């Protein structure tokens, strides 16, 4: 079946969608993006994703080309055209097409692209066994809170884990955990669920917020505080979260077992809560 994408006002087959080579996204990586999971044709946490898109656009000094209602109707149409229940919606906005000059061109129209992607949550086997991860020095810039398409550092860091046969690269800056190359990271220390507080060193994860909300609503002890590298290495559980991975346990870190080498009890609990919450949202009963 043909994939129908949205590009600058048109809905068309992906094979026919073209962006000029002078687009600043292509030349400079000058743009931002979002990835929104869609379950049963309902975008999950759409407003939160669109608010983060707005913050990323503001962070790169690009006026949001659409208001909330317009984004809603564009995403609805892409979902309807895709004709599949579960999707990952990829939204990209670049500064647009202009002469190659680092400085912003005076009059320029942003390029807006929406792509429906297959969404495959982690296989049950991976949820049951957990995954391996490695660590690396976080050598990215200091605006990791913006979801920019300039992903080369993340791409190189992620490839380190592929080369090592692992699922993710967990990043450490100045002796503290930041996040994964494409995920947020939680640890369990002394029975408390801990993740670094939001800052310019990490993406404010939408799934990160869901995990804290669920943990707090169900009386699970949790804290947002800096996580020194030694705590990451001593943690009894480590979790990765993202819109596409949902929640996954890390059971080996740099080749060493995390806890007893199996997903922990708190992982089992939060994973079950997350799945239940997802199904509530899919039925359209999301608590306000």
The binder of ligand PDD chosen from 179, 259, 263, 266 (CB under 6 A): 179
Tell me how long the chain is.
288
Q: Which two tokens stand for residue 167?
A: 């699922």
**Is residue 135 at the binding interface for ligand PDD, with CB under 6 A as the rule?**
no
Considering the complex, what minimum distance in angstroms separates the CB of residue 95 from ligand PDD? 20
**Is residue 133 at the binding interface for ligand PDD, with CB under 6 A as the rule?**
no
Over its C-alpha atoms, the chain yields an Rg (Å, rounded) of: 19
**Is residue 169 at the binding interface for ligand PDD, with CB under 6 A as the rule?**
no
How many Å apart are CA 136 and CA 127, to the nearest integer? 24
The binder of ligand PDD chosen from 131, 203, 222, 227 (CB under 6 A): 203
H/E run at residue 81: helix 68-82
CB nearer ligand PDD, residue 4 or residue 35: 35
Stretch that binds ligand PDD, among 6-14, 93-101, 128-136, 237-245 (CB under 6 A): 237-245
Considering the complex, what minimum distance in angstroms separates the CB of residue 26 from ligand PDD? 18
The binder of ligand PDD chosen from 74, 182, 214, 247 (CB under 6 A): 182
Question: Within 20-59, which residues bind ligand PDD (CB under 6 A)?
Answer: 35
224 has which bridge partners?
195
277, with CB counted inside 10 A (0-12, 13-18, 19+), is middle
**Is residue 207 at the binding interface for ligand PDD, with CB under 6 A as the rule?**
yes
Task: Indicate which residues carry an active-site annotation.
Answer: 147
The closest alpha carbon to 46, from 206, 217, 212, belongs to 206
Considering the complex, what minimum distance in angstroms separates the CB of residue 105 from ligand PDD? 27
The binder of ligand PDD chosen from 94, 169, 243, 251 (CB under 6 A): 243
Stretch that binds ligand PDD, among 121-129, 131-139, 221-229, 238-246 (CB under 6 A): 238-246
**Is residue 183 at the binding interface for ligand PDD, with CB under 6 A as the rule?**
yes
Residues near 81 by Cβ (< 8 Å), separated by ≥ 6? Answer: 4, 11, 116
Considering the complex, what minimum distance in angstroms separates the CB of residue 198 from ligand PDD? 11
The binder of ligand PDD chosen from 53, 119, 206, 253 (CB under 6 A): 206
How many Å apart are CA 237 and CA 235, to the nearest integer? 5
Stretch that binds ligand PDD, among 180-188, 190-198, 215-223, 267-275 (CB under 6 A): 180-188
139-196-286 Cα angle (round to 5):
120
How many Å apart are CA 207 and CA 36, to the nearest integer? 11
**Is residue 89 at the binding interface for ligand PDD, with CB under 6 A as the rule?**
no
Residues contributing to the site for ligand PDD (CB under 6 A): 35, 154, 179, 182-184, 203, 205-208, 241-244
């Amino acid at each position: 079946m043909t994939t129908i994408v949205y590009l600058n006002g048109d809905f068309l087959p992906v094979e026919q969608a073209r962006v000029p080579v002078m687009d600043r996204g292509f030349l400079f990586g000058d743009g931002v993006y979002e990835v929104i999971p869609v379950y049963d044709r309902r975008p999950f946490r759409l407003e939160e994703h669109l608010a983060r898109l707005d913050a990323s656009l503001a962070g790169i000094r690009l006026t949001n080309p659409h208001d909330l209602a317009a984004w809603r109707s564009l995403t609805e149409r892409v979902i309807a055209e895709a004709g599949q229940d579960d999707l990952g919606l990829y939204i990209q906005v670049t500064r647009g097409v202009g002469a190659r000059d680092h400085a912003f061109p005076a009059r320029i129209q942003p390029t807006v692209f929406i792509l429906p992607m297959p969404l495959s949550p982690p296989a049950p086997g991976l949820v049951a066994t957990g995954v391996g991860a490695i660590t690396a020095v976080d050598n990215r810039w200091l605006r990791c809170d913006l979801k920019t398409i300039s992903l080369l550092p993340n791409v190189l860091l992620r490839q380190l884990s592929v080369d090592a046969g692992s699922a993710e690269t967990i990043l450490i800056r100045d002796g503290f955990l930041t996040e994964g190359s494409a995920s947020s990271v939680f640890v369990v220390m002394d029975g408390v669920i801990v993740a670094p507080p939001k800052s310019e060193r990490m993406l404010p994860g939408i799934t990160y917020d869901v995990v804290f909300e669920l943990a707090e609503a169900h009386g699970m002890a949790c804290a947002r505080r800096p996580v020194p590298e030694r705590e990451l290495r001593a943690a009894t559980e480590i979790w990765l979260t993202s819109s596409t991975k949902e929640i996954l346990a890390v059971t080996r870190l740099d080749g060493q077992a995390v806890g007893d080498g199996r997903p922990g009890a708190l992982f089992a609990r939060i994973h079950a809560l997350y799945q239940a919450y997802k199904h509530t949202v899919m039925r359209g009963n999301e608590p306000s």
